Amino acid sequence: MKTVDQIREFLTDSLAKLRKTGIDQGEILYWETESGTLRTFLNRMGPSVTSRDADVYMTAIVGKKHGQAHTTDLSHEGLDRVIHNCYENAVYGNDSETVFCLPGTYKELPPFKKKIFFESTLDLSPEKNVDTLHKISEESKKNGLTCSARLMTGGARLGIANTSGTFLVTEYTEVSLSLILTGDNGVSAYASDASENIEFLDPGKVVQEAIQNAERQKLRPPVELDFSGKETFFDVILEPYAVAEWIEILASIGFNGLLFEEGESFLSGKMNQKVVGDNISLFDDGSDPGGFIAPFDFEGVPKEKKVLFDRGVLRSVCYDSFLGAKYGKRTSGHALSPFEKSYGAIPRNLFMEGGPSSLGEMIASSIRPTIYITRFHYTNVVNPKEGVLTGMTKDGTFLVQNGKFSGPVSNLRFLENIPKALCRVTHLGQSRRVHDPVGYGGLFPESMAVPPLKIEKVRFIGSSGNLAR
């Protein structure tokens, strides 16, 4: 990987060359990720990989036109070509009605509230990590379970320079472990954790959490729920993994300034109005040490706290500089990576305030039939304008009644207006960080801290038929 100093030199040289083309404004982004992913399935080793990717993105603004270009070719010829392409793209087409202005001048970052780069996490030698997965597998076997796991370690260096004077480079690391334990009679349990520092990740704790979930399923016989034809409403207890999935999707369609302004979001036109329950407060803060620290967004705008829901009232949505210019708003520091930029601006360092209830209290309070849900699979947007989502429960779905677990149930399909459901939250527990990255693009510090929730009368429309796996 290029060092921080080498990235600074690269940005300085490249920006000087881009300026010479005759642009009015320009931006260079250098993003290098090195990561390793080990996978196991059913106690077997799966395909494991390591990759090293360096990407250069450029933006040019000429008058009221703009264009972008990208390359992974860092040779002189490759860089000359990307500069040429970027300039050419910026002079095509018609003038925009909007005057764009790249954000600046950010040259120094405030001290981080915790360390975000650890050489030990960037050490991708696999022996120790395979050993970790082996131990997890053996621990699972001792409990009569089969383990499928994913351990990712890696780091990235990200630098941004623009003609408005922004010049920032940062480096960060990340390790994440997720696992699914499966057993006889459809037992399936999940747990995950993540950290900046591989020394802080406790695989033993993660596997014990999943074993506990699996044991709960093994102790009691499965309960069959009848879903023949009719929709059914249940109170639900959601673990933070499940809550995180709902909130992540709501954030991408709700607080996204693009969809908000175009009228597609369930929050469009509802600024300063009560949208969810009084007990729901949500903010985004890439500088909060409770999550992964993201020093700045993909336009070099430093991250700061942004209140989204304040006791149920919508207080803000997210913009990057392009959306801000178009709709007369200031960038909120939520520019997405260049390959996602056309999708808008999305908060990805989210914190939902918790409450005093423990999961035990939520269970004890559940006299009528209640569904306890560990997580969801393939949750997707059914109706963005109303915030309606559907998805299946996964890896630990239980019936709770008379204040205790009755037994595992098959996976269930919910179809629910989530903002309305968030008006029916009766219990909130303590927030915990949830992060299980998929890694379609480069590494960037994102995470969420959310509490377990108990919600009344959630709509279910079907099940997987019999107890899955």
Partner 1 sequence: MWQKFSSKIFDLARKHKVEYIDVRIIPRHEEEIILVKNGEIHELVKSEKSGFGIRILKGGAWGFASSSRLEENEIDERFESALDLARASSKMQRRPVRLFPVPVISHGFYKTPVLKDPFKDVSIQEKINTLLKLDELMKQSSARVNVRESNMTFSKINKILMNSEGSFIEQELVESGAGMEVIAVSGEEVQKRSYPNSFRGNIGTAGYEFIESLRLEDHAVRIGEEAEALLYADPCPEGEKDLILMPDQLCLQIHESIGHAIELDRIFGSELTYAGGSFLADHLKEFGSFRYGSKRVNVVSDPTLSEALGSFGYDDEAVAAQKTDIIREGVWVGLLSSRETCEELNEVTGKSISPNGCMRASHSNRIPLIRMTNLNLEPGSGSLNELLSETRDGILMETNVSWSIDDLRKNFSFGAEIGWEIKKGKKARMLKNPLYTGMTVNFWNSCDAVCGPSEWRSYGTPNCGKGLPGQAMHVGHGASPARFRKVKVGSRKG
Which residues in the 94-123 window bind partner 1 by CB under 8 A? Answer: 94, 96-98
> CB-wise, 3 or 51, nearer to partner 1?
51
Which residues in the 267-286 window bind partner 1 by CB under 8 A? Answer: none
Using CB under 8 A as the binding rule, whether residue 68 contacts partner 1 is answered as yes
CA dist 237 and 227 (Å) reads 20
> CB-wise, 429 or 437, nearer to partner 1?
437
Q: Please state the closest distance from residue 24 (CB atom) to partner 1, in A.
A: 16
CA dist 454 and 429 (Å) reads 9
Which residues in the 142-161 window bind partner 1 by CB under 8 A? Answer: 148-150, 152
Q: Please state the closest distance from residue 419 (CB atom) to partner 1, in A.
A: 8
Using CB under 8 A as the binding rule, whether residue 365 contacts partner 1 is answered as no
Which residues fall within 8 angstroms of residue 414, CB to CB, at 6 or more apart? 376, 389, 390, 391, 393, 458, 459, 460, 461
Which residues in the 433-452 window bind partner 1 by CB under 8 A? Answer: 438-440
Using CB under 8 A as the binding rule, whether residue 55 contacts partner 1 is answered as yes
- Given candidates 390, 397, 406, 431, which one binds partner 1 under the rule CB under 8 A? 390
- Given candidates 216, 334, 348, 413, which one binds partner 1 under the rule CB under 8 A? 413
Tokens 């903002």 sit on residue: 419
- Given candidates 3, 9, 63, 93, which one binds partner 1 under the rule CB under 8 A? 93
Q: Please state the closest distance from residue 365 (CB atom) to partner 1, in A.
A: 26
Tokens 């999708």 sit on residue: 343
> CB-wise, 64 or 330, nearer to partner 1?
64
Q: Please state the closest distance from residue 286 (CB atom) to partner 1, in A.
A: 22
- Given candidates 4, 8, 24, 48, which one binds partner 1 under the rule CB under 8 A? 48
Using CB under 8 A as the binding rule, whether residue 173 contacts partner 1 is answered as no
Which residues fall within 8 angstroms of residue 408, CB to CB, at 6 or more apart? 186, 187, 216, 217, 220, 222, 223, 396, 397, 398, 399, 467
φ/ψ of 305, rounded to 5, equals -65, 135
Instruction: Name the token pair of 291.
Output: 């999550």
What are the angstrom distances between the C-alpha of 49 and each of 45, 152, 156, 307?
A: 12, 10, 16, 39
- Name the segment binding partner 1 (CB under 8 A); options: 173-181, 243-251, 349-357, 424-432: 173-181
Pick left, alpha or beta for residue 456 (phi over 0 → left; psi -120 to 50 → alpha; otherwise beta).
Answer: beta
CA dist 295 and 301 (Å) reads 8
Positive/negative CA dihedral, 248, 251, 254, 257: negative
CA dist 247 and 228 (Å) reads 30
What residues does 58 pair with on adjacent strands? 28, 69
- Given candidates 16, 45, 99, 271, which one binds partner 1 under the rule CB under 8 A? 45
> CB-wise, 307 or 415, nearer to partner 1?
415
- Given candidates 14, 121, 137, 366, which one binds partner 1 under the rule CB under 8 A? 137
- Given candidates 391, 396, 408, 445, which one binds partner 1 under the rule CB under 8 A? 391
| Per-residue x/- track, 285-324, partner 1 (CB under 8 A) | ----------------------------------------
Which residues fall within 8 angstroms of residue 213, CB to CB, at 6 or more apart? 181, 189, 190, 191, 374, 395, 396
What are the angstrom distances between the C-alpha of 237 and each of 93, 108, 278, 351, 376?
A: 53, 44, 19, 19, 13
Q: Please state the closest distance from residue 252 (CB atom) to partner 1, in A.
A: 14
φ/ψ of 340, rounded to 5, equals -115, 0
Using CB under 8 A as the binding rule, whether residue 367 contacts partner 1 is answered as no
> CB-wise, 133 or 362, nearer to partner 1?
133
SS3 397: strand
Using CB under 8 A as the binding rule, whether residue 80 contacts partner 1 is answered as no
> CB-wise, 30 or 167, nearer to partner 1?
30
Using CB under 8 A as the binding rule, whether residue 185 contacts partner 1 is answered as no
Number of residues that bind partner 1 (CB under 8 A): 101
Q: Please state the closest distance from residue 396 (CB atom) to partner 1, in A.
A: 13
Please choose, from the candidates 418, 363, 376, 435, the residue with its C-alpha nearest in 3D space to the C-alpha of residue 251: 418
> CB-wise, 48 or 197, nearer to partner 1?
48
Please choose, from the candidates 394, 331, 398, the residue with its C-alpha nearest in 3D space to the C-alpha of residue 362: 398
CA torsion 305-310-313-317 (nearest 10°) is 10
Which residues in the 25-44 window bind partner 1 by CB under 8 A? Answer: 35-44
In one-letter notation, the amino acid at residue 352 is M
Q: Please state the closest distance from residue 382 (CB atom) to partner 1, in A.
A: 5
Q: Please state the closest distance from residue 344 (CB atom) to partner 1, in A.
A: 11
Using CB under 8 A as the binding rule, whether residue 262 contacts partner 1 is answered as yes
> CB-wise, 69 or 169, nearer to partner 1?
69
Which residues in the 217-236 window bind partner 1 by CB under 8 A? Answer: 229
CA dist 235 and 425 (Å) reads 10
Q: Please state the closest distance from residue 14 (CB atom) to partner 1, in A.
A: 15
Using CB under 8 A as the binding rule, whether residue 49 contacts partner 1 is answered as yes
Instruction: Name the token pair of 364.
Output: 């004890």
